[in-house]
Structure 1
Amino acid sequence: MSKTGGKLTTIEIDRGRYEEALANFQEAGLSEYIEARLADAHELVQELAGPFDFVFIDADKDWYTDYAKALIAKLEAGGCIAAHNVYERRGGWGGYGGTGDFFEYMKGLTQFETRILTESRGGLSVSYKKKTL
């Protein structure tokens, strides 16, 4: 990020995990590249300005679709939205709350190419925003 001028924005609602993350960023020498926010993502995601190249969602599973809807317009062409725990091996879709609906929503968006990786525990969806010609 030092070469590109990029930054990472992370949201944590739990004060203990937030403070632990801040300490980890400081210890790793990355604090100047990371904007850590102590907030409720349900509210804050709407307010984030963007633009974003990459979004990783690992939060309240029933809100995945809402997070995506709030961020899609702020995602650069060629950017990626990755979401964790979208597939539960024992239960398949819906094993993790609303993530099945999220995956179907993303697959239905023509401006995205979406795949799911089920090899890892919980599964990971990866959606690339197509570049327009």
Structure 2
Amino acid sequence: IDIDEDRYKTALDNFKQAGVSEYIDARLADAHSLVKELKGPFDFVFSDADKDWYKNYFIDVDPKLKVGGCFTAHNISRGGRGYGGGQGIFLEYVMSMKNYETSINSLGGGVSISYKKAEK
């Protein structure tokens, strides 16, 4: 989901060049409202949107994410400056969930990968 039409078109081109277009459901929309409406189920979610909304996106996606699926959050460590703001709130929340296993790679902007082990 991207709200910016140019980035959305670039993403579509990249997916096509990589040969994965048929596996990706890309949307041009405002993620704040669309994420709630998506039906799922999902195997993999990559979030690189409004960092202050990471927790909200996760809460909306969690019931739709398959067991064995992953929710990833990009730029989680704000370029190595720690886990503040929305990223910190998200990490505290997701790491408290017993049915998820979360790992963090802090290289660059950092990425978290939360693996869904079971339903709640």
Q: Which TM class, normalised by the smaller chain length?
A: 0.7 to 0.9
Q: CA deviation at 1:110?
A: 1.0
**Structure 1 residue 36: Cα displacement:** 2.4
Q: Does 1:82 align with 2:69?
A: no
Query: Cα 1:24–1:41, aligned 2, differ >3 Å: closer, same or farther?
Result: same
- Higher Rg: 1
Report percent identity of matched pairs. Answer: 56
Q: Which moved more, 1:28-37 or 1:97-106?
A: 28-37
Tell me, yes or no, if structure 1 residue 128 matches structure 2 residue 118.
no
1:109–1:29 distance in 2 versus 1, CA, 3 Å: closer
Unaligned runs of 5+ in 1: 1-10
Q: TM-score, normalised by structure 1?
A: 0.79
Q: Which residue of 1 aligns with 2:86?
A: 98
1:3 aligns with none
Aligned: 1:48 with 2:35:
no
Q: Say what the alpha-carbon RMSD is for the aligned residues.
A: 1.8
- The code of the aligned residue for 2:95 comes to K
Q: Which runs of 5+ in 2 are unaligned?
A: none
Residues 33-63 of structure 1 deviation map (CA, whole Å, 9 limit, x = unaligned): 4332110000100011000111111110000
Aligned length: 119
Q: Could you say what secondary structure the match of 1:37 adopts?
A: coil
Residue 63 of structure 1, aligned match among 53, 60, 63: 53
| Aligned partners of 2:3 and 2:28 also within 8 Å | yes
Name the CA distance, whole Å, in 2 between partners of 1:15 and 1:89: 26
CA contact (8 A) 2:41 2:64 kept: yes
Q: Which residue does 1:111 correspond to in 2?
A: 99
Shift of 1:15: 1.2
TM-score (norm 2): 0.87
Between the aligned partners of 2:89 and 2:53, the Cα distance in structure 1 is 10
**More helix per residue:** 2
